[in-house]
Structure 1
Amino acid sequence: MSPSSPTSSANAWSHAVIEAVAKEMNIHPTELPEKLYDVIDPGSLDSLFANKNPTGGTVTFTYCDYTVTVTANGDVSLEK
């Protein structure tokens, strides 16, 4: 899946992850079989890259059987 970038809202990163996974699974976000907070703290994820730090950094975790990578430059990507 191609990377996507979050919007400017305070919880943009967590919402970007949820939206990307739901889109990839072709379902509505409320139909996801797993809650994001069961695998990662959404607030911490949102805070980590809130300023889109250009110096780098990534967070990778498994969510709904996808390997999700969030980068400091604003990308959310998925691998199955």
Structure 2
Amino acid sequence: MQPTQSLSLKIVDKVAEREGVQPEELTPPIHYAINTDALDSLYDASDSDRSPSRVEFVYNGYTVTVDSTGDVALENRVAALDPDKTAV
């Protein structure tokens, strides 16, 4: 991963890795789930005072959570909705 990579591309890479596919193979594209320009600008390193404490959205079957530092966590949507259910 490149240090100058945008947050939205970082998310796409993580989801693709979890799915075992190339990033360009993910459907739908991430911009169907969230405005990537707005997301990237929220976490722009040159204006860290604007970074929200957390952003969460659903993309490609995962709940994506981005913390205030720009770290990305993925959680299966079923697990996010009901932690007592386990995937089979």
Identity among equivalent pairs (%): 32
Any unmatched runs of 5+ in structure 1? none
Q: Report the residue type matching 1:53 in the other structure.
A: S
Structure of greater Rg = 2
Do the aligned residues in 2 keep the contact of 1:6 with 1:15 (CA within 8 Å)? no
Please report how far the alpha carbon of residue 68 of structure 1 lies from its aligned counterpart in structure 2 after TM superposition.
Answer: 0.3
Which residue is 2:60 aligned to?
64
Q: Which has more helix, going by share of residues?
A: 2
Question: TM-score normalised to the size of structure 2?
Answer: 0.73
Q: Which runs of structure 2 are paired with 1:1-80 in the superposition (5 Å)?
A: 7-9=3-5, 12-51=6-45, 53=48, 57-80=53-76
Deviations 1:14-64 (CA, angstroms, capped at 9, x unpaired): 100100000000000011021111110110010001127378611000000
Aligned residues: 74
Question: TM-score normalised to the size of structure 1?
Answer: 0.80
RMSD: 2.2
- CA 1:47–1:56 in 2, change beyond 3 Å: closer, same or farther? closer
Any unmatched runs of 5+ in structure 2? 77-88
Q: Following TM superposition, where does structure 1 have runs of at least 4 consecutive aligned residues deviating by more than 2 angstroms?
A: 5-9, 51-56
Do the aligned residues in 2 keep the contact of 1:6 with 1:13 (CA within 8 Å)? no
Do the aligned residues in 2 keep the contact of 1:56 with 1:73 (CA within 8 Å)? no
